[in-house]
């Protein structure tokens, strides 16, 4: 068993589950526990287990996925830059108001990655100082990487207002 | 919602608010090279605040990845970092093969390694050439592009396409290479060091280039780790991390004696330039070692595993080949994937290019998340530029090598 799991078991007993596939080791926090546990768990991984880099942060929408119970998931890929060890923390969130605590206070690298997840999935990160859309225009209303958003969109592109030179 | 960031940024000491003015830099500006925009707040010539505004090239690559299958999506992945497209393809199929549990053949590993390293050389040449061009050194740019042309020739002879080769397939490659390609690669290995030395002589001690890059855009080691940097940007700040050594994939484990990890401590634009120059020589060593030790044998995994597209002879001349061809091309058949998800990352020229693929049992990805190095490196730009002068903006941008197609996807 990896050393970080001993630390997590001691600090957060029963608050998370684990799974493994190929070389990816995961720590999973359910939607009920994520708002209270997630930040502390990541802080513990960073400060006590040496996972000093947030290498990856991405969202997933599990709508209609086989055996899925929660809808949104944010994956935090942590890396220990000294040993090269990786761990993936998965935290779930659900409709109607998917929310997770922001890890911006721990890693400044989370700034844009959390904005991207907010933009494309609509998961709000509480405590993020500057949660705006990043890739899509600010007047866009949908979150296009959600599974219920059609591949060709809702026709937003055709309904963009046309600005003439005189009005600009 | 306003374009202005709502993060309260500390004012530069003594800056009088009255004299601050706003300058819009991009999205179409020669020094941004690609389509990105900066809103700079200036005090005279000093940048007090920089707010990047991106998304001009957003075209929903990740949404397309959920609609196209593993072999089709490679054409989209190509267009992310279009400076070194082969490296993206290799990273994508590395992840897919990890998901499906495929062990590719030794020859395929070596060929992919050679192409990944040629892509790295080509990417670094463009980055250095363009950075030098922005600082007024046109000759270095031309020298660099002359060599990039040779890399393109090799890729054209390999895959039939110069710019977007779409060369990798699940479990193998589009085709094996010919002897002509080997000869071209050997020729490149012989001639490149001279061109590399020419660029070094033009820039390393060039007074203007050094003055405009040394001490500009300094990123400390702690900041580099805290802000998720990877690749040459992190290594120039003293982070000794290279996935080719730390998590050996392809043939890098076997070739690890052929190359070293290039690092620097300064963390400024000049150090990032030096790291890239050093990495090109290390990449060339890998190419030389790999091409001399290239194993014989097939490039695709065995036909019986029913994972790779059979070649045309097998498709037209044998019933098994024909069946397998249809199995992989009919939209309701394709691969049998585990209901699982996996993250795979490669060390590409810009840094860690990762893919997080979620599979739901069908032959397509349920989610194909990209971890783009450019996106993360551009997010540190305001931190690097604040307090420097407006003429340092192109120097810092050039040293980060932002590729907007990868930035926005």
- Give which of A134, A136, A147, A160 to mutate to test B binding, by max B Cβ within 10 Å: A134
pLDDT band at B1 (very low <50, low <70, confident <90, very high): very low
Write the pLDDT tens digit of every residue in B172-190.
888 888 899 999 999 999 9
Please determine, for residue B157, whether its predicted confidence score (pLDDT) is greater than 60. yes
In the prediction, which pLDDT does B111 show?
92
Run of H or E residues at B238: none
In the prediction, which pLDDT does B40 show?
87
Please determine, for residue B114, whether its predicted confidence score (pLDDT) is greater than 90. yes
pLDDT band at A153 (very low <50, low <70, confident <90, very high): confident
User: What pTM, to 2 d.p., does this model score?
Assistant: 0.90
Does some domain include residue A167?
Answer: no
Does some domain include residue B320?
Answer: no
- Helix B85-100 to helix B106-134 angle (10° resolution) is 140
State the residue range of the domain holding A142.
Answer: 3-159
Please determine, for residue B13, whether its predicted confidence score (pLDDT) is greater than 50. no
Does some domain include residue B402?
Answer: yes
What is the mean predicted confidence (pLDDT) over B65-79? 89
Does some domain include residue B8?
Answer: no
What is the mean predicted confidence (pLDDT) over B74-102? 91
Strand-pair partners of A86 = A79
Question: Would you state the structure tokens that stand for residue B149, as one six-digit string?
Answer: 């042309």
In the prediction, which pLDDT does A73 show?
92
Which residues in chain B are contacts of A111 at CB distance < 8 A? 379
Tally the domains of chain A. Answer: 1
pLDDT band at B162 (very low <50, low <70, confident <90, very high): confident
Does some domain include residue B309?
Answer: no
Q: Output the CA–CA distances (angstroms, integers) from residue B128 to A34, B133, B208, B264, in the order listed.
A: 45, 8, 15, 16
Does some domain include residue B36?
Answer: no
Contact B155, B118 (CB under 8 A): yes
- Give which of B8, B98, B369 to mutate to test A binding, by max A Cβ within 10 Å: B369
Which residues in chain B are contacts of A47 at CB distance < 8 A? none
Pairing of strands B20-25, A124-126: unpaired
Nearest alpha carbon to residue B249 among B349, B348, B368, B365: B348
In the prediction, which pLDDT does B155 show?
92
In the prediction, which pLDDT does B16 show?
54
Does some domain include residue A49?
Answer: yes
State the residue range of the domain holding B253.
Answer: 61-301+334-408
- CA atoms of B215 and B309, how far apart (whole Å): 52
Write the pLDDT tens digit of every residue in B200-222.
998 988 888 898 888 888 999 99
In the prediction, which pLDDT does B23 show?
86
A12 at interface of B, judged by CB pairs closer than 8 A: no
Rg (CA), chain B: 22
**Which DSSP category does B258 fall into?**
G
What is the mean predicted confidence (pLDDT) over B71-100? 91
Please determine, for residue B93, whether its predicted confidence score (pLDDT) is greater than 80. yes
Please determine, for residue B15, whether its predicted confidence score (pLDDT) is greater than 70. no
Interchain pair B54, A134: CB under 8 A: yes
Does some domain include residue A165?
Answer: no
In angstroms, the separation between the Cα of residue A32 and the nearest Cα of chain B is: 22
Give me the interface pTM, i.e. the ipTM.
0.90
pLDDT band at B8 (very low <50, low <70, confident <90, very high): very low
User: Environment class of residue B271 by beta-carbon count within 10 Å: exposed (0-12), middle (13-18) or buried (19+)?
Assistant: buried
Minimum CA–CA partner of B340 in chain A: A21
% of chain A with per-residue pLDDT over 70? 99
Does some domain include residue A94?
Answer: yes
- Give which of A20, A21, A153 to mutate to test B binding, by max B Cβ within 10 Å: A21
In the prediction, which pLDDT does B285 show?
92
Interchain pair B226, A129: CB under 8 A: no
In the prediction, which pLDDT does B2 show?
47
Backbone φ and ψ for A95, nearest 5 degrees, come out as -65, 160
Does some domain include residue B27?
Answer: no
CATH number, residue B352:
1.10.645.10
Output the CA torsion B126→B128→B131→B132 (10° steps). Answer: -120
A107 at interface of B, judged by CB pairs closer than 8 A: yes
Write the pLDDT tens digit of every residue in B309-332.
888 888 898 888 888 888 888 878
Which positions ≥6 away from B284 have C-beta within 8 Å? B117, B121, B189, B192, B193, B196
In the prediction, which pLDDT does B7 show?
45
Does some domain include residue A168?
Answer: no
Looking at every residue in chain B, the average pLDDT score rounds to 87
Tally the domains of chain B. Answer: 1
Closest partner residue to B228 (CB to CB) among A53, A88, A149 is A53
What is the mean predicted confidence (pLDDT) over A138-152? 87
In the prediction, which pLDDT does B187 show?
93
Which residues in chain A are contacts of B352 at CB distance < 8 A? 55
pLDDT band at B398 (very low <50, low <70, confident <90, very high): confident
Contact B11, B42 (CB under 8 A): no
In the prediction, which pLDDT does B94 show?
92
Interchain pair B376, A108: CB under 8 A: no
Interchain pair B3, A116: CB under 8 A: no
Please determine, for residue B67, whether its predicted confidence score (pLDDT) is greater than 80. yes
Does some domain include residue B12?
Answer: no
CATH number, residue A60:
3.30.460.80
């Amino acid at each position: 068993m990896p050393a970080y799991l001993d630390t997590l078991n001691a600090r957060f007993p029963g608050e998370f589950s684990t799974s493994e596939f190929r070389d990816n080791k995961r720590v999973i926090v359910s939607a009920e526990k994520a708002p209270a546990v997630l930040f502390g768990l990541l802080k513990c991984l960073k400060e006590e287990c040496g996972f000093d880099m947030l290498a990856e942060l991405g969202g997933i929408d599990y709508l209609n996925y086989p055996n899925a119970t929660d809808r949104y998931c944010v994956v935090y890929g942590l890396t220990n830059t000294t040993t090269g060890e990786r761990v993936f923390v998965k935290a779930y969130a659900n409709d109607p108001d998917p929310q997770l605590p922001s890890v911006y206070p721990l890693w400044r690298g989370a700034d844009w990655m959390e904005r991207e997840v907010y933009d494309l999935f609509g998961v709000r990160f509480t405590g993020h100082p500057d949660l705006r859309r990043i890739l899509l225009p600010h007047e866009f209303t949908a979150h296009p990487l959600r599974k219920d958003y059609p591949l060709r969109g809702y026709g937003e592109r055709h309904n963009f207002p046309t600005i003439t030179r005189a009005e600009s | 919602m306003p374009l202005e960031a709502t993060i309260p940024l500390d004012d530069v000491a003594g800056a009088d608010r009255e004299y601050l003015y706003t300058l819009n830099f991009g999205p179409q500006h020669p020094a941004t090279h690609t389509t990105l925009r900066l809103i700079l707040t200036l005090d005279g010539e000093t940048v007090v605040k920089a707010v990047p505004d991106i998304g001009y090239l957003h075209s929903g690559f990740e949404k397309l990845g959920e609609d196209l299958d593993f072999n089709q999506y490679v054409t989209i992945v190509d267009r992310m970092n279009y400076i070194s497209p082969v490296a993206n393809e290799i990273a994508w199929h590395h992840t897919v093969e990890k998901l499906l549990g495929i062990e590719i053949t030794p020859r395929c590993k070596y060929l992919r390694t050679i192409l990944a390293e040629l892509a790295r050389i080509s990417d670094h040449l463009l980055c250095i050439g363009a950075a030098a061009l922005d600082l007024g050194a046109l000759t270095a740019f031309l020298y660099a592009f002359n060599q990039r042309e040779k890399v393109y020739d090799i890729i054209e002879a390999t895959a039939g396409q110069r710019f977007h080769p779409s060369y990798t397939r699940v479990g193998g490659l589009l085709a094996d290479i010919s002897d002509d390609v080997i000869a071209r690669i050997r020729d490149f290995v012989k001639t490149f060091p001279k061109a590399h030395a020419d660029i070094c002589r033009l820039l390393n001690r060039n007074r203007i280039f050094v003055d405009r890059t040394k001490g500009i855009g300094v990123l400390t080691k702690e900041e580099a780790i805290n802000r998720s940097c990877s690749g040459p940007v992190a290594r120039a700040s003293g982070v000794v991390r290279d996935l080719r050594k730390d998590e050996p994939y392809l043939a890098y484990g076997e070739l690890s004696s052929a190359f070293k990890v290039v690092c620097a401590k300064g963390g400024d634009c000049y150090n990032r330039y030096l790291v890239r120059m050093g990495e090109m020589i290390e990449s060339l060593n890998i190419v030389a070692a790999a091409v001399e030790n290239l194993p014989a044998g097939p490039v695709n995994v065995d036909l019986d595993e029913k994972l790779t597209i059979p070649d045309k002879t097998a498709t037209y001349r044998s019933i098994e080949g024909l069946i397998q061809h249809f199995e992989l091309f009919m939209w309701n058949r394709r691969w049998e994937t585990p209901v699982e998800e996996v993250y795979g990352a490669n060390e590409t020229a810009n840094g860690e290019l990762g893919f997080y693929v979620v599979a739901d049992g069908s032959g397509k990805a349920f989610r194909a998340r990209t971890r783009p190095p450019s996106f993360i490196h551009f997010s540190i730009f305001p931190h690097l530029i604040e307090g420097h002068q407006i003429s340092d903006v192109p120097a810092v941008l050039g040293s980060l090598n932002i590729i907007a197609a990868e930035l926005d996807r």
